[in-house]
Amino acid sequence: MKEKLVLIGNGMAGVRTLEELLKLAPEKYDITVFGEEPYGNYNRIMLSPVLAGEKTIDEIMINDMQWYEDNNITLHAGKKITKIDRVNRQVLADDGTVEEYDRLLLATGSRPFMLPVPGADLPGVISFRDIKDVDEMLSTSKTHKKAVVIGGGLLGLEAANGLMLQGMDVTVVHISGVLMNQQLDETASDLMLEELKGKGLNFLMNHATESISGDGRVEKLHFKDGSDIDADLVVMAVGIRPNVELADSAGIHCDRGIVVDDTMQTFDPTIYSVGECVQHRNQTFGLVAPLFEQAKVCANHLAKMGIARYISSVTSTKLKVTGIDLFSAGDFNGDEETEDLVFKDAARHVYKKLVIKNDRLIGVVLYGDTVDGTWYFQLMRDATDVSDIRENMLFGQHHLGDSGHGAANSTDNLPDDAEICGCNGVCKGDITKAIAEHSLFTLDEVKAHTKASASCGSCTGLVEQILASSLGTDFNDTPSKKAMCGCTDLSHDEVKNAIKAQDLKNIPQLMEALEWKNADGCHSCRPALNYYMLSSWPNEYVDDPQSRFINERVHANIQKDGTYSVVPRIWGGVTNPGELRAIADISEKYDVPTVKITGGQRIDLLGVKKDDLPKMWADLSDAGFVSGHAYGKSLRTVKTCVGSEWCRFGTQDSTGLGIKLEKMTWGSWTPHKFKIAVSGCPRNCAEATIKDIGVVCVDSGYELHVGGNGGIKVRATDFLCKVATEEEAMEYTAAYMQLYREEGHYLERTAPWIERVGLNHVQALVVDDAENRKRLAERFYKSQENSQNDPWAEHAAKYKENYIPIKQVS
């Protein structure tokens, strides 16, 4: 019978321990995991790119829910353990869940330190530690403008940069005169300060916070020198503390952290601990590398192999902060017994400092050029005598010639245990082994197999050097191109460009001209090609029904039992008794078993037989209804609130504008489904900031937000611009939608499209260039001209499965 292992804490260190354990003894334990957050295991280091809009939550997941299922691990996500019963070997969760254990692993991590000043508990004062914090920052950035970040360390600067990219006016308050004083010396700090000011951040150095004030929400920060600053949001990034409360309450020996020995065992021999919550030989930890080393040691002992010890060693920090490469290790400040080797090129924003003592390298700071960081760190770890290379070592490993310490490739002389990717704890040996065993030839393949370079990207150059060294002339340093499908080697963009460049007007012509491997195409390329033809030649190309999915051909969504759901369009969610009566009569006529109000303010008639679809649509058309396109790669819904007509908070007629937008855009085929919303005020009841385009009404006009998604991969919108009139809102919407139709890949939502092309690109073509905006809008309107008359009623009696009714033109 398997023993029971319970892990408290679903973070990086704890789950890495499980990964290592599964390699050593996959069948030894029944494993249960408790995590306070309602997610799988994600890379906390990468929250900064999520805040900056560079990555999504899904993209920073290390192990999603499926991983736990695949490894037979029971995950209690969103449950907090409140008690450890060491006598009965049980843990108790806040929802009453009780789980027994034979071995318990504590990986409770750390908690952010909040300054104990008056007003620290006001709404709008938060930390920067988890997904919830990021969500609150993103939400606040949509409605407020002034942010203050307390703390000029790594987290503080990343938070400040992300909020600035979200459009906020950001000031960093730091108690010291040196930014990132744990990683940088004064010279590197000054370079960083100058560069970050140039990017648009503001700084108050040597300022100590005395209090925070506000009426119901944070409004001001007050400093000990008597000055103050306005703030709509305050982010405290002033450090972390090991989270020991649970262990301490269970009688486990704790000091600053949970005290462990060299096997990662606590005072209780059945309980182990790893990560930021532990204290080992009077030392606590905040970097990833030692946590992952602890995970290996702990897994070794949980597997009862008993041959590993954790020995704390010097650590290095390799970072990319707001686009600036940094590296530091060891004692980089030195003292009267040390010597400094310094190189500074302020114009190129490059600074290097090596600290030497007794012919040994004991400290390094690199700013702007970090390619030799791993080599310097290896010299430090090995306590290498550098007296014979001292003259040239400041200029990097590749300058050392035949001295024995260097090589043309700076990774060649690194040992297999040299860490390359600090974010994911990947060593050189892991990469070279994966290259050999899996025949890897590209950076993307190495990322997929090892996770090296898959997070912050600061180690990409080193990974490419290892690839080049391992493969020689076989190394492909060109980014891999993703073909549309197996029928062609061409990408989506190459196919789209060829349609225009070669004047290809139909699918057979395209397949011949572009040497399609399969004369009939496949289920992936046929719908895509049909869409690209429609978007390229909207008034010439004849839609190909055989290249449509069944849902689009019959104007209904097929359900799991083989019946269909029919969704008539309800303009802006506004209806009347006559329409409701007609829907009720038609529902009774065709024995519709379920009538449901959808999340998009429409009515869904579920359980319709396929043979009844033509007659039902004919009846609906006679009653004045058109298709809601609930199945289509097209406009789906325009969600509205009641706005100024009824709501006491409404600033504009959001319902009226929503109906105008829906009538302007309905039936327009797009690369993927497209949703719009119009909220009557910043309270945003219509959820406009998670739509493909959302309009938020304000007293002085309309804020336009783009690129949102409210599905599995939730993404808040980016702020596009503000306009003054409904006419402008409609023109910008048409232009934005047309740009997406022309540039988006088939089955690519606007959220990944904007992340691919960049918000600046969209703003340049839609906002900044008025003439181009008008041309885009005109192309959109023109593509709609041929589809203003609904042909469905006329043809309903002649309905065939392959007929595409109701606004078929893109």
Residues within the annotated binding site for siroheme?
A: 685
Q: Which two tokens stand for residue 653?
A: 């007629």
CB 658 within 8 A of CB 697: no
CA distance 373 to 366: 7
Give the Cα separation of 41 and 196 in Å (integer): 32
Contact of 241 with 75, CB cutoff 8 Å: no
CA angle 241, 244, 246 (to 5 degrees): 140
Rounded to the nearest 5°, which phi and psi values hold at 75? -110, 125
Instruction: Give all strands of the β-sheet with 73-77 in edge-to-edge order.
Output: 73-77, 29-35, 3-8, 103-106, 271-273
Beta-carbon contacts of residue 239 (< 8 Å; ≥ 6 apart) = 112, 113, 151, 153
662: exposed, middle or buried (C-beta count within 10 Å: 0-12, 13-18, 19+)? buried
Yes or no: say if 192 and 183 are a contact pair by the CB < 8 Å rule: no
Instruction: Of 598, 748, 756, 597, give the one whose Cα is nearest residue 673.
Output: 748
Q: Which long-range contacts does 719-728 make (Cβ < 8 Å, 24+ apart)?
A: 719/142, 719/166, 719/167, 720/693, 720/759, 720/762, 720/763, 720/766, 720/767, 721/763, 721/766, 721/767, 722/698, 724/700, 725/701, 726/657, 726/660, 726/702, 728/702
Lookup: tokens for 269:
């021999």
The size of the chain, in residues, is 810
The answer to whether residues 384 and 393 touch, using CB atoms and an 8 Å cutoff, is no
**Distances 708 to 534, 643, 656, 694, 757 between C-alpha atoms, Å:** 25, 21, 22, 8, 15
Structure tokens belonging to residue 236: 């405290």
Binding-site residues sit at 641, 647, 681, 685
**Residues paired with residue 421 on neighbouring β-strands, in sequence order:** 426
At residue 283, the 3 state secondary structure works out as: strand
Residue 431 DSSP label: H
Q: What is the dihedral of CA 204, 206, 212, 218, to 10 degrees?
A: 20
Six-digit token string for 586: 């038609």
Structure tokens at 431: 């990469």
- Contact between residue 46 and residue 55 where contact means Cβ atoms under 8 Å apart: yes
468 class by beta-carbon count within 10 Å (0-12 exposed, 13-18 middle, 19+ buried)? middle
Q: What is the rounded distance in angstroms from the CA atom of residue 299 to the CA atom of residue 420?
A: 22
Four-residue CA torsion sign, 56, 59, 62, 67: positive
Q: Give the bridge partners for 325, in sequence order.
A: 320
What span, in angstroms and rounded, lies between the C-alpha atoms of 492 and 470? 32
Tokens of 701: 């006009």
Taking each helix axis from N to C end, the angle separating 460-471 and 428-438, rounded to the nearest 10 degrees, works out to: 50
Signed CA dihedral, 224, 225, 227, 230: sign only: negative
Query: Which residues have C-beta within 8 Å of that of residue 484, sequence separation ≥ 6?
Result: 490, 491, 492, 495, 524, 525, 528
Q: How far apart are CA 324 and CA 456, in angstroms?
A: 11
Question: How far is it, in rounded angstroms, from Cα 698 to Cα 650?
Answer: 8
Binding region for [4Fe-4S] cluster: 641, 647, 681, 685
Tokens of residue 257, six digits: 């952290």
